[in-house]
Amino acid sequence: MTPKRVLIVDDSPTIRALLRTMLAQDPRLTVVGEACDPFDAREKIKVLLPDVLTLDVEMPRMNGLEFLEKLMRLRPMPVVMISTETQKGSAAALEALSLGAVECIGKPSFDRLSDTFANLADLLVAAAGARLRGAETRARVAPATDFNWNGKIVLVGSSTGGVDALETLLSGYPRNCPPTLITQHMPEGFLASFARRLDTNMLPQVELARDGVLLAPGHVYLAPGGDYHLAVAGHEAPKCRLVASDKRNGHRPSVEVLFDSAVPLANRVVSVMLTGMGKDGAEAMVRLRRAGARCLAQDEATCVVFGMPRAAIELGAAERAVSIGSMSRAVLDLCSGNGRSAAQFSSVRRA
């Protein structure tokens, strides 16, 4: 495989050197250059033709968000943003993802370099081959108005590209949506800002999951990350559980932990696998489906990275592949008392 060409854009010489050193250890990548600000980056993109950029959010002369917006409008290419995990930095990171960045990672600190860079090489390789999002994949869906809950709960796993995918999914939810638990791979410092963003822009109440909270219609629970995985427990009165344990499949929170926790109540579950690299949750989705859950995966055409959904489809875990624009309707149909089947929607095709 020809190594993917990386351009590092950061105003800090220390960070640039650190990134170059770390990335040089992976034969799948070659750092073709460095830029100290967006103006420098613009000229080097023309000459060096990188496959993927790392881009700092906060830079002099032009901030990273302004440069990203111009880049995506004039010369779209895969970008991985690097941001501080402060409240201000988290808001900027989420804005960058909405503008078209493939992923955002926390700015490295010297006391946790191994954690920061553990998946960076894989991320850059995946980003270099990512499907850039156009207006169609970022389109929002009108909220449903005819929902009659049948008692099922929804479990969602997502990773790279998940910010847009989740916003599209939840934009189609009514105020009385089915209880929904989400594990999104994202730095802990960004998750609270993401929950606030979703809560502000969506009809249901979106919050970081808290241990012991009973699931209720009209609520969406987002895994808080940090030292905890999100799980669900209890058949008659399901509740959120925060499980302190090691990473699973390289992630904490892990989709596999969430999906596996729901196997005992599978007949009340609709599970959804959205865009993301790797295969976290795919094997657990197999177990869910065998136990009686309904299982959907995002289709390749609307995924930023067709990794986790591909794994679910290839293992036979997903009964159908659904475009992200049709996912909310398909999910709500399976959670509705109106008796219709997701197969009745022309936009839902067999995997």
Active-site residue numbers? 159, 185, 280
> No. of H helices and E strands in the chain?
12, 15
What are 344-350's contacts with CB under 8 Å, separation 24+?
Answer: 347/322, 347/323, 348/320, 348/321, 348/322, 348/323, 349/299, 349/320, 349/321, 349/322, 350/320, 350/321
Question: CA–CA separation, 306 vs 320, rounded Å?
Answer: 15
- How many other CB atoms are there within 10 angstroms of residue 351's CB atom? 19
Residue 345 is given by DSSP the state: S
Question: CA–CA separation, 174 vs 218, rounded Å?
Answer: 8
Residue ranges of alpha helices (H) inside 27-80 are 38-48, 64-74
Question: CA–CA separation, 320 vs 297, rounded Å?
Answer: 6
CA atoms within 13 A on the CB side of 24: 8
In sequence order, the 6+-apart residues with CB closer than 8 A to the CB of 318 are 273, 285, 289, 295, 296, 297, 309, 312, 351
With beta carbons less than 8 A apart as the criterion, state whether 101 and 68 touch.
yes
Take residue 323 and report the two structure tokens written for it: 């475009």
Question: CA–CA separation, 53 vs 37, rounded Å?
Answer: 12
Judged by DSSP in three states, 155 sits in: strand
With beta carbons less than 8 A apart as the criterion, state whether 155 and 289 touch.
no
In sequence order, the 6+-apart residues with CB closer than 8 A to the CB of 214 are 237, 238, 239
Judged by DSSP in three states, 30 sits in: strand
